[in-house]
């Protein structure tokens, strides 16, 4: 069974309350529920973490080495400047898929740059919560 870890970064615990016109009305629990249902269909063993702390994301990526087949990550605002998260993904050599609810290329200019994307297999951005489902399907094919 393929093992996939979903990492959600800062402020994503506030989904459903935060800037709903951009991020939608679903909570992170709603998204996790949908992903669990899809994971069952795809025969994927899914685990989740949400943290507002960069170091915790890095520790979790390190711990995944040898245990996790694919990482799905929405690094939140860290997307745009965390070289440390980028280096961690590169270091563990686990295929990673970057997900964003919003289309980061259609917003403020500072959001269009991802320092994480170059070390990922690919990026899914702008499809709302469906992006996580798409990422899971991509993970099943890796
Ligand atoms: C986000 C986009 C980021 O720019 C922002 O800082 C977030 C959410 C998204 O899912 O669209 O926190 O990663």
CA-nearest residue for atom 13, ligand 1, is 76
Residue 41: pLDDT band with limits 50, 70, 90: very high
Q: What are the CA-CA distances from residue 48 to residues 44, 71, 97, 107 (Å)?
A: 13, 10, 14, 27
In the annotation, is 132 catalytic?
A: no
Architecture of domain 2-141 in CATH?
Answer: 3-Layer(aba) Sandwich (3.40)
Q: Mutate which of 52, 104, 130 to test ligand 1's pocket (most atoms within 8 Å of Cβ)?
A: 104
CA-nearest residue for atom 8, ligand 1, is 76
Cβ(36)–Cβ(57) below 8 Å: no
The domain segmentation of the chain, as residue ranges, is 2-141
The pLDDT tens digits for 6-22 are 999 999 999 999 899 99
pTM passes above 0.85: yes
The pLDDT tens digits for 52-91 are 999 999 999 999 999 999 999 999 999 999 999 999 999 9
Residue 32: pLDDT band with limits 50, 70, 90: very high
Atom of ligand 1 nearest to the CA of 10: 12
Half-sphere exposure of 104 (CA within 13 A, CB side): 23
Picking from 43, 45, 46, 9, the residue whose alpha carbon sits closest to that of residue 28 is: 9
The pLDDT tens digits for 90-106 are 999 999 999 999 999 99
CA 74/CA 93 separation, integer angstroms = 18
């Amino acid at each position: 069974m393929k093992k996939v870890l979903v990492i959600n970064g800062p402020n994503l615990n506030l989904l459903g309350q935060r800037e709903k016109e951009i991020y939608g009305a679903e909570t992170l629990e709603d998204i996790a529920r949908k992903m669990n249902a899809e994971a069952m269909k795809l025969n994927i063993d899914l685990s989740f973490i949400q943290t507002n702390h960069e170091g915790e994301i890095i520790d979790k990526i390190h711990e995944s080495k040898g245990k996790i087949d694919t990482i799905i990550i929405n690094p939140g605002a860290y997307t745009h400047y965390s070289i440390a998260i980028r280096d961690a993904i590169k270091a563990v050599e686990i295929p990673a898929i970057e997900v964003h609810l919003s289309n980061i290329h259609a917003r403020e200019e500072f959001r269009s740059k991802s320092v994480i994307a170059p070390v990922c297999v690919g990026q899914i951005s702008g499809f709302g919560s469906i992006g996580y489902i798409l990422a899971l399907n991509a993970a099943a094919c890796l």
